[in-house]
Structure 1
Amino acid sequence: MRPDPAPRRTPAERRARMMALPPLSDDDGGAIDRFVDAIWAESGLARPTLESYRRDLAGLARWRRGGGLAKATRADLFDYLAWRSAEGYAARSNARLLTALRAFFGWQVREGHRPDDPTALLEPPRLPRSLPKAITETHVEALLAAPDASTPDGLRDRAMLELMYACGLRVSELVGLPATGVNLRQGVLRVLGKGSKERLVPMGDEARHWLERYLAEARPRLAGRQVHATLFLTPRAGPLSRQQFWHLVKRHAAVAGIDPARISPHGLRHSFATHLLNHGADLRSLQMLLGHSSLSTTQIYTLVAREKLKQLHAHHHPRG
């Protein structure tokens, strides 16, 4: 018996409600494991994406209370999506869930485990179009100058911030960057992006300067006598997590006099793209630098630049 729709709840309440559902059955857990292994072999999806698929599928399986994930019908999926909407899950979260369901049931059909795909007629929820939030060049300069470069941690932070802004890296790409991915002589990084796609990104003279200083002065002290493949290390000689980098960005933003609520690590990537466009870069080159598989993903930044021009016109033109 399915749970009745409930009033919209807070994230903590939703997590508690999910925890109260029955545990994942062995059959459903095995089906999810086989799917994740297969989709990784087929598409080379990144670990965070695979874990996201696993969580979403496990949520549906537990909600069905032993009814069998692979046996879910279109009506079951409609009911589950309706229940999630009533519970207060965001449209973006439900859209991500639908992506996982389509991948899973598509795999089920290809493998001959079921004759039909119950997601065939499911429409994705409409997502509000939100523009990437870039910070001004003045704020970027203040943020980059915030770390205390006289300490190993501060020098590491300065090098990381410089690289992220100079190269437009994703957070996962930055914290997972191997030492072997750096070519200081040529001034480029070899970055492994989404879908295990590799790209070369120029780092610029300023970022290269700080990276050279980090490698010469800070990294040997952070690594000690141990040998590590990861480029950026913590004082315990381990790699930084995305959450740790998120916290250090917030801390340095506060030092720089920037409202921490207005900045995020991914905001530096958005700033990289927006500032390049503002200074005349073309979309195709920006697509290659960002590692976007589709140009349509990159085109969102033209809207950001256009909004900025409209604001400038409204503020400065006598008839704005």
Structure 2
Amino acid sequence: MNEYLMTQRDITAFARYLHTEERSAGTIEKYLRDVRAFACWMEGRAVVKEDAALWKAHLLGLGYAPVTINSMLAAVNSFFRFKGWEGVRVKFLKVQRRMFREAGRELSRDDYGRLLDTARKRGQERLALLMEAICGTGVRVSEVRYLTVEAALEGRAEVALKGKIRVILLPEKLCRKLLKYAKKQKIASGEIFLTGSGKGLSRRQIWAEMKRLCNHAGVEPSKVFPHNLRHLFAATFYRACRDIAHLADVLGHSSMETTRIYLLATGTEQREQLDRLGLIC
């Protein structure tokens, strides 16, 4: 019987495999973090099917949300598949499809406005424009690097990610703002959102700047992260066009089921809808 031992060499090879599969930097980082967490929990023991199931129970015991546990299991199962260890893959937790989004994580238009106003008042011009660019186009934070001087001049950005290429149209007003900022920063070509040393902003840097801003803006930190700007774009776009297929294309989703998640109402909104039914006498 083969012994399924996880080594650092295996994990390094898995990282290379994820790169060849053109997974996003954020996905690779998360998968490796979860695989290392499982390997640490195993403490050098050979993996058997019962171990993966016990780890799932262990995560439940620690209070992780089922959706989070499933995302961690997906990473570990991907590693097992890479190694050819099909016999030790673990089943996901069965989670009922969510019917609404928690209000504590819902970024409203008012919250967004306060974040922009606060960033500008604090002289954080780059952060304010970056948030506008994400929220005004629906790009992923990993796609910010495609917002270049050339894209602003053409009014469109060509994004190549996850093995797909799509064109993102840029609002005219945003293009003017991007070009004005680039000129001020003496950026003649290429990426617009750069660090002081001229490198592209990382996902972690953008996340950290937004988190620091939320306290000054009086917005709950649980609502403030780059992907929530994309959610706000999706909800606003859908209210304007009522075309989920078109929205899926704009967001770069291969499945409209993914897009549907972006359009979940908050629990408060759903409760108001129930009240309007008038079925409680």
Aligned-pair Cα RMSD in Å: 3.5
User: Cα gap change, 1:53/1:127 in structure 2, threshold over 3 Å: closer, same or farther?
Assistant: farther
Q: TM-score of the superposition, structure 1-length normalised?
A: 0.71
Structure 1 contact 277–305 (Cα < 8 Å) conserved: no
- The match for 1:189 is 157
Report the secondary structure of 1:299's partner residue: helix
- The match for 1:292 is 253
Structure 1 contact 177–191 (Cα < 8 Å) conserved: yes
> Of 5, 30, 46, which residue of structure 1 is paired with 2:9?
30
Structure 2 contact 106–266 (Cα < 8 Å) conserved: no
- The match for 1:205 is 172
List runs of 5+ in structure 2 lacking aligned partners: none
User: Cα gap change, 1:67/1:156 in structure 2, threshold over 3 Å: closer, same or farther?
Assistant: same
User: Cα gap change, 1:82/1:303 in structure 2, threshold over 3 Å: closer, same or farther?
Assistant: closer
- The match for 2:75 is 100
| Residue-by-residue CA offset, 1:49-70 (whole Å, 9 max, x unaligned) | 22322222222223222223xx
- How far the C-alpha of 1:29 sits from its partner, in A, is 1.1
| Residue-by-residue CA offset, 1:35-92 (whole Å, 9 max, x unaligned) | 3323432x21122222322222222223222223xxx221121122222322333323
Bigger-Rg structure (1/2): 1
Percent identity over the alignment is: 25
User: Cα gap change, 1:258/1:63 in structure 2, threshold over 3 Å: closer, same or farther?
Assistant: closer
Report the secondary structure of 1:140's partner residue: helix
- The match for 2:181 is 214
- The match for 1:241 is 202
Structure 2 contact 152–176 (Cα < 8 Å) conserved: no
Q: TM-score of the superposition, structure 2-length normalised?
A: 0.79
Count of residues in Structure 1 that have an aligned counterpart in Structure 2: 272
User: Cα gap change, 1:249/1:280 in structure 2, threshold over 3 Å: closer, same or farther?
Assistant: same
- How far the C-alpha of 1:108 sits from its partner, in A, is 2.6
Partner Cα distance (1:212, 1:172) in 2: 21
Partner Cα distance (1:237, 1:185) in 2: 21
- How far the C-alpha of 1:214 sits from its partner, in A, is 0.8
> Of 243, 251, 255, which residue of structure 2 is paired with 1:282?
243
2:148 counterpart of 1:179: yes
Structure 2 contact 244–259 (Cα < 8 Å) conserved: yes
2:117 counterpart of 1:148: no
- How far the C-alpha of 1:161 sits from its partner, in A, is 1.9
2:93 counterpart of 1:124: yes
RCO higher in structure (CA 8 A, sep ≥6) = 2
- How far the C-alpha of 1:237 sits from its partner, in A, is 3.3
Structure 2 contact 35–75 (Cα < 8 Å) conserved: yes
User: Cα gap change, 1:100/1:256 in structure 2, threshold over 3 Å: closer, same or farther?
Assistant: closer
Structure 1 contact 156–232 (Cα < 8 Å) conserved: yes
Partner Cα distance (1:106, 1:211) in 2: 44
* Aligned amino acid, residue 61 of structure 1: A
Structure 2 contact 153–179 (Cα < 8 Å) conserved: no
2:36 counterpart of 1:58: yes
> Of 27, 30, 54, which residue of structure 2 is paired with 1:49?
27
Structure 1 contact 106–117 (Cα < 8 Å) conserved: no
Report the secondary structure of 1:184's partner residue: helix
